[in-house]
Structure 1
């Protein structure tokens, strides 16, 4: 029962990713062949490997993380706050900083991670990029040998499915149907690469990422039938 989990023991998270290289032409010949092979099923005959490259950010082998946003509740008496912070910039540095957050503040058995579609995307992506960059995987991301009920992860998409494995609901749709203010601003996931490489506006991406983290926390509160966060309770650090 999610009602039994103490809010302050949950770390809500979201990541933003982009292709490792700005464009297909920057790939060396081996990477081009590997990209063509990796995406053959998804592309079919509709796209060339080059035309499909703007989607490279969804694969950990061809993409990289440029922002990790995390949020957590602090409770003191009847005062509730939700603190949001972001790690951004060089991928190795941001992964190490996030690793330190997990190891130093969210490493106890009662601590859990929560995101929307995080079990399928964010958490595997984080673990794979840590391995690629030679960074030790923190215990909360290391699933080897663990039984399903021992994995310390919550997923609002999974919670909403109620066992229906065919069902996918975007965070935007879920917030709409639950009456939660939309997390989306002036960009969406498909535009992050352009904003990062062309506009070079990391602040815009951070804002977008943090809004998603807040939205996930709001969905979780709604699933527990608790009052939604108001602006005065949200603190950006």
Structure 2
């Protein structure tokens, strides 16, 4: 690994978010929002009537920032240990109070120079970054400079996206983190649960700690994949620190 790459990692933060439907059921949605979800569901289902609008909200509501909320943000960073080996530390913010969660994350990224911080996520440009920003606006939280992209030139936006790195300009299909991890022989994160179970685990099992473990492991996979996409050796398991 070059010294230039080491220097770049000084202000490099990898992240992943876990989102759930904003309410435990469709029936709990305000009436105005129910009507708007019904309209959205028609276009999303495209004639597939195997699920009702209520079932579809529970199944897909977490994907849309207007109808979902963030319950966990995991983040990690590379560093070099005393043996000059690459190491990785991952932690997370979580909670039922989305405002507090977003304020914690805002405080974290504002510790970095806004014009130097590189945020990296898988499909982050389409999902994680805009979802965070939209939820901040909904709660009247000022968006940190590092996340503001309006009016910026493409080369001024420092965000990295491992899915984009893999696409090479090909936008025909979505490639999951799990698939790329398998392709590059990186251990996966789906041992305890998978992304489509997050709303159920949150509302029915009420196990936020399980969601956070899953989210942190996704960041570990993301970090290892990022290194493989640059033809670097992955972090040794003993050099990975997980902070709950």
- TM-score relative to the length of structure 2: 0.92
Residue in 1 that maps onto 2:54: 50
Contact 2:114 2:145 in 1 (8 A): no
Distance 2:187 2:30 in 1: 44
Tell me, yes or no, if structure 1 residue 79 matches structure 2 residue 85.
yes
What is the Cα deviation at residue 4 of structure 1?
5.1
Structure 2: 5+ residue runs without aligned partners?
none
Count of residue pairs the alignment pairs up = 235
Distance 1:57 1:168 in 2: 18
Gaps of 5+ in 1: none
Q: CA deviation at 1:206?
A: 0.5
Task: Report the more deviating stretch, 156-165 or 47-56.
Answer: 47-56
Using the TM superposition, name which of 190-199 and 68-77 deviates more: 68-77
Give the aligned partner of residue 36 of structure 1. Answer: 38
The separation in 2 between residues aligned to 1:20 and 1:108, in whole angstroms, is: 30
Q: Are 1:167 and 2:173 an aligned pair?
A: yes
Does the aligned pair in 1 maintain the 2:87–2:236 contact within 8 Å?
no
Question: In the alignment, is residue 115 of structure 1 matched against residue 121 of structure 2?
Answer: yes
Task: Out of 33-42 and 210-219, give the one that drifted further.
Answer: 33-42
Give yes or no for the alignment of 1:210 onto 2:216. yes
Q: Which moved more, 1:175-184 or 1:119-128?
A: 175-184
Distance 1:107 1:50 in 2: 44
Contact 1:8-1:75 at 8 Å conserved across structures? no
Alpha-carbon displacement from aligned partner over 1:79-107 (angstroms, at most 9, x marks no partner): 33211110000111110000000001x23
Match of 2:67 in 1: 62
Shift >3 Å, 4+ stretches: 2-5
Which of 92, 101, 119 is equivalent to 2:99?
92
**TM-score after normalising by structure 1:** 0.94
Match of 1:23 in 2: 25
Indicate how the Cα distance of structure 1 residues 108 and 236 shifts in structure 2: closer, same or farther if over 3 A, else same: same
Question: Which residue of 193, 208, 216 maps to 1:187?
Answer: 193
Q: Is the 8 A contact 1:82 1:235 kept in 2?
A: yes
Indicate the SS of the match to 1:225: coil
Separation of aligned partners in 1, 2:242 and 2:130: 26
Aligned-CA RMSD value: 1.6
